[in-house]
């Protein structure tokens, strides 16, 4: 029996729904899409318009490559299957492509790592896996020919200058640093218009009867059967704290992104275990909430949009990721001054973690999207998250150009003056990555909360690419037990279950590095 069918009747506040989704970002919209397609009456509630806030700040990319993590690979393969189905339904209105991801290294350690990763990827079902060590391999990157359904190898490795240069084919000969020793290419990867993809999901949900309520906020959860199950939500309308309405429902889905922690606490507090029935102790209620707190952490996600009129980056290039540590080039007196300043500035005088990456941005001719999470990792984000993240602005942009020029020297040649100052037009924006310590999503029933409480959050830096599979899985959880015809949950469902964070053995395994983590890029 579906969880919402018990006494979810209409109220004076308006028509009852089967599920209220808290959060209208791309993940919340995906949950609405897959629930409504299966017959659920859905209401999406958010204080902001759909697909705004952090969802509007996405890098808009996707990949099926997640290292040797079996379940993340299966999860993302399913999500990309669904992305391609959605693209076919709308004649690819959201411009999905297969331009690929390139992971590059200039170290012997990087070379060995790529070979091992290719071998591991083959065991997970990725096609290809060949390691090419000379320029005669005949494999050519064709960024202008890679439609979303183009035939590509899953993983390929190119080692040595000749093999890398040959792979890049028609791109300029000096595009990538001559110091590059190894390139791992993920073919079933690329990018899209995340806004248009989300819009297609939202249109599909609305066509199936889903509704949105904005600006509005869920401020309370009502329960039945002595707090055992959800019966509805209290919604504040707009910014007026006295303007409330009640919506009867049998399920609440926490898709609140950076505010998922606060929404999760609201759901847990709605549960009144028998030991607390009638109790007035705030301490007891707080202890109950703490016992079931899920470990959401927000990190700053910033990106810089570089106007590239000098063509440092060809507009047909793939996503490019430099995996090595980066030592920024400073004059001796600059390095000394940075070390004397201490704090973040001092870290700039030492090797910085790898992961700097970029891709062309076809939505604005001659523009490059640049990212490097290491440049904001020192900035703590309090809970609840501030409405706007604190970004380093022009300094972030300059450091990106300095760092990425290790991989693409022409960036420095074109946009850094002789004194090292940035000579470029760059805009910076950003949002948050919401994640857990294992960098895996939380999808399923909320432990410690009334029956009918669900979460689909913590999708870190892969929310757009994972949203379809996440929405599909969430719908399967909400519809659990609807009948013998229901398909079994996919293999990755157990890996993403929220209650793993109540298990001391798992928490210890993550802390000790014994549990697999989702790959961050």
Q: Does position 110 have pLDDT exceeding 70, yes or no? A: yes
Query: For residue range 181-195, what is the model confidence (pLDDT) as tens digits?
Result: 999 999 999 999 999
CA 444 – CA 457 distance, rounded (Å):
10
Nearest CA-CA partner of 104 in 46, 205, 175, 183: 183
Q: What is the mean pLDDT of residues 456-471?
A: 96
Minimum mean pLDDT range among 146-155, 206-215, 508-517: 508-517
Token look-up 């948050």 returns 432
**Strands across the sheet with 216-224, in order?**
216-224, 229-237, 244-248
pLDDT of residue 262: 96
Domain ranges in the chain with CATH number 3.50.50.60 = 19-57+196-296+437-511
pLDDT of residue 520: 72
170 CA to centre of own chain: 32
Q: Does position 419 have pLDDT exceeding 90, yes or no? A: no
CATH says 107-188+298-433 is which class?
alpha beta
pLDDT of residue 7: 34
Q: Does position 476 have pLDDT exceeding 70, yes or no? A: yes
Domain ranges in the chain with CATH number 3.30.9 = 107-188+298-433
Contacts of 244 (CB under 8 A, 6+ apart): 219, 234, 235, 236, 237
Contacts of 423 (CB under 8 A, 6+ apart): 415, 416, 417
Yes or no: say if 175 and 27 are a contact pair by the CB < 8 Å rule.
Answer: no
Token look-up 């913590």 returns 458
User: What CATH number belongs to 19-57+196-296+437-511?
Assistant: 3.50.50.60
Minimum mean pLDDT range among 226-240, 336-350, 480-494, 500-514: 480-494
CA 163 – CA 141 distance, rounded (Å):
12
- Helix locations, 7-123, DSSP H: 26-36, 70-89, 108-123
Q: Does position 290 have pLDDT exceeding 80, yes or no? A: no
Residues in the chain: 521
More confidently predicted of 521 and 444:
444
Residue 481, classified by CB atoms within 10 Å of its CB into exposed (0-12), middle (13-18) or buried (19+), is exposed
């Amino acid at each position: 029996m579906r969880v919402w069918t018990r006494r979810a009747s209409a109220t004076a506040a308006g028509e009852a729904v089967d599920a209220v989704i808290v959060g209208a970002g791309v993940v919340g919209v995906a949950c609405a899409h897959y629930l409504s397609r299966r017959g659920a009456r859905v209401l999406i509630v958010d204080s902001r318009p759909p697909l705004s806030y952090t969802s509007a700040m996405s890098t808009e990319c996707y990949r099926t490559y997640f290292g040797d993590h079996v379940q993340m690979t299966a999860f993302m393969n399913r999500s990309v299957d669904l992305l391609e189905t959605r693209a076919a339904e709308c004649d690819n209105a959201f411009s999905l492509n297969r331009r690929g991801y390139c992971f590059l290294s200039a170290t012997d350690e990087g070379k060995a790592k790529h070979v091992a990763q290719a071998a591991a990827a083959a065991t997970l079902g990725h096609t290809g896996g060949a390691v090419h060590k000379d320029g005669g391999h005949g494999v050519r990157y064709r960024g202008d020919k890679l439609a979303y359904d183009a035939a590509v190898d899953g993983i390929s490795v190119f080692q040595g200058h000749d093999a890398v240069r040959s792979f890049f084919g028609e791109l300029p000969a000096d595009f990538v640093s001559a110091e590059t020793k190894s390139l791992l290419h993920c073919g079933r990867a690329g990018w899209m218009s995340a806004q248009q993809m989300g819009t297609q999901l939202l249109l599909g949900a609305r066509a199936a009867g889903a509704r949105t309520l904005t600006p509005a906020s869920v401020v309370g959860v009502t329960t039945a059967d002595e707090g055992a199950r959800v019966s509805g939500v209290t919604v504040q309308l707009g910014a007026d704290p006295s303007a409330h309405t009640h919506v009867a429902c049998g399920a609440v889905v926490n898709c609140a992104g950076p505010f998922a922690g606060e929404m999760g606490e609201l759901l847990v507090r709605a549960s009144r275990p028998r030991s607390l029935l009638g109790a007035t102790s705030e301490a007891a209620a707080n202890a109950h909430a703490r016992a079931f707190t899920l470990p959401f952490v927000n990190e700053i996600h910033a990106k810089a949009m570089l106007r590239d009129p000098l063509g440092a980056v060809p507009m047909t290039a793939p996503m490019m990721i430099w995996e090595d540590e980066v030592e920024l080039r400073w004059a001796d007196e600059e390095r000394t001054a940075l070390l004397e300043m201490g704090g973040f500035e001092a870290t700039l005088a030492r090797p910085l973690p790898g992961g700097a990456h970029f891709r062309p941005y076809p939505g604005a001719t001659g523009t490059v999207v640049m990212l490097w999470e290491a440049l904001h990792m020192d900035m703590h984000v309090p809970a609840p998250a501030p409405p706007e993240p604190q970004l380093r602005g022009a300094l972030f942009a300059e450091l990106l150009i300095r760092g990425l020029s290790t991989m693409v020297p022409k960036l420095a040649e074109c946009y850094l003056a002789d004194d090292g100052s940035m000579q470029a037009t760059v805009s910076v924006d950003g949002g948050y990555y919401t994640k857990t310590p294992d960098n895996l999503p939380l999808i399923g029933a909320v432990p410690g909360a009334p029956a009918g409480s669900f979460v689909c959050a913590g999708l870190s830096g892969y929310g757009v690419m994972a949203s379809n599979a996440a929405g599909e899985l969430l719908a399967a959880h909400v519809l659990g037990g609807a009948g013998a015809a229901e398909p079994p949950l996919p293999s990755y469902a157990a890996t993403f279950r929220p209650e793993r964070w109540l298990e001391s053995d798992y928490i210890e395994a993550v802390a000790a590095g014994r549990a697999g983590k989702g790959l961050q890029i």
